[in-house]
């Protein structure tokens, strides 16, 4: 496992813990590290099917913003559809560490 640049703007890092893919189903898990005072612009994540993501904040403070969530516990544990709803993040003044689990139900 190694740290890679983020997909949005390369100012954050991610480490793939696992990914799997079957005929109709895929899943992944990433550890994501955001620098202090980082702002991720609003975006959606294109997907070929129904995409669900569960983000759990392990360290740091900040604010995750999403048009609509399925579940949100104190902005620390958030389940949402990144393929349907715009989302962004504003980090606090320390490193933010998030574990992110994704599930894709393919078309």
Instruction: Please give the angle made by the CA atoms of 94, 99 and 87, to the nearest 5 degrees.
Output: 80
Tokens 């980090």 belong to 91
pTM of the model: 0.92
* Band of pLDDT at residue 47, cut at 50, 70 and 90: very high
* Band of pLDDT at residue 79, cut at 50, 70 and 90: very high
**The pLDDT of residue 31:** 98
Taking only the tens place, the pLDDT of each residue in 90-103 is 999 999 999 999 99
**The pLDDT of residue 50:** 97
Inter-residue contact 87 to 64 (CB < 8 Å): yes
* pLDDT exceeds cutoff 80 at 61: yes
């Amino acid at each position: 496992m190694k740290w890679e640049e983020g997909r949005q703007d390369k100012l954050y890092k991610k480490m793939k813990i696992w990914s799997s893919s079957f005929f109709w189903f895929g899943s992944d898990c990433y550890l994501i590290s955001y620098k202090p005072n980082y702002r991720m612009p609003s975006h959606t994540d294109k997907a070929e099917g129904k995409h669900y993501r569960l983000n759990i904040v392990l360290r740091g403070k900040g604010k995750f913003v999403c048009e609509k969530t399925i579940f949100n516990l104190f902005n620390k544990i958030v389940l949402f559809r990144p393929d349907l709803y715009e989302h962004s993040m504003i980090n606090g003044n320390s490193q933010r560490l998030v574990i992110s689990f994704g599930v894709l139900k393919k078309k």
